[in-house]
C-alpha cells in the first residue's frame, strides 16, 4: 500500500558542521538514506549559504519515493538543524532520531510525523 509519511524535525545540536564539513554532511545524508532503506534517485547535493544571519548548509536528496532536505544554521550555538523527509514508503522515526543524535549530539529535538494520506482537513470541495 502506498504511504504518505512526512517527518519534520527541528533539532539543536552541539556538534554542528560548518562550511568546512560539507563532505561530512554529504556522507551523513548517504548514511541516512541507507539507514531508512531509501533509494537515492538524484544527489545528495549540498551548498553553503554565506549570507550574514543566514549562514549554513543546505543538503538535499531526491529519493525514489520523494525527498529528504536538511538545512543547518551554524552561526548560532547550539547549531540548528531542520530536517524534512517525505516518503511514499514507511520508515522508522527512531532510526532517524538515533542517527541525528549519534552524529551531531542533539541537545533538543522537536518533531512532527504526519501521515498525509489521511486525517487532512477538507476546506472546500470543488464540483
Overall average pLDDT of the 91-120 stretch: 90
Q: How confident is the model at residue 53 (pLDDT cuts 50, 70, 90)?
A: confident
Overall average pLDDT of the 25-36 stretch: 97
The model carries a pTM of 0.88
* 126 assigned to some structural domain: no
Give the residue numbers spanning the domain of 72.
7-115
Overall average pLDDT of the 3-19 stretch: 95
Q: What's the domain count of the chain?
A: 1
* 1 assigned to some structural domain: no
Q: How confident is the model at residue 120 (pLDDT cuts 50, 70, 90)?
A: low
Q: What CATH number should be reported for the domain holding residue 109? A: 3.60.90.10
* 124 assigned to some structural domain: no
Contacts of 36 (CB under 8 A, 6+ apart): 85, 91, 92, 95, 96
- What is the phi-psi region of residue 4: left when phi exceeds 0, alpha when psi lies from -120 to 50, beta otherwise? beta
* 70 assigned to some structural domain: yes
* 121 assigned to some structural domain: no
Taking the C-alpha atoms of residue 40 and residue 64, their distance in angstroms, rounded to an integer, is: 6
Give the distance from CA 62 to its chain's centroid: 12
- 88: number of CA atoms within 13 Å, CB side? 8
Amino acid at each position: 500500500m502506498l504511504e504518505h509519511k512526512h517527518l519534520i524535525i527541528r533539532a539543536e545540536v552541539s556538534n554542528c558542521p560548518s562550511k568546512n564539513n560539507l563532505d561530512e554532511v554529504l556522507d551523513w545524508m548517504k548514511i541516512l538514506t541507507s539507514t531508512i532503506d531509501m533509494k537515492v534517485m538524484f544527489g545528495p547535493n549540498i551548498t553553503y549559504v554565506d549570507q550574514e544571519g543566514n549562514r549554513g548548509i543546505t543538503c538535499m536528496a531526491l529519493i525514489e519515493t520523494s525527498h529528504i532536505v536538511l538545512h543547518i544554521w551554524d552561526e548560532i550555538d547550539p547549531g540548528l538543524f531542520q530536517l524534512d523527509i517525505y516518503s511514499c514508503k514507511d520508515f522508522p522515526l527512531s532510526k532517524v532520531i538515533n542517527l541525528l543524535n549519534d552524529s551531531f549530539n542533539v541537545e533538543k529535538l522537536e518533531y512532527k510525523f504526519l501521515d498525509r494520506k489521511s486525517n487532512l482537513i477538507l476546506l472546500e470541495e470543488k464540483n
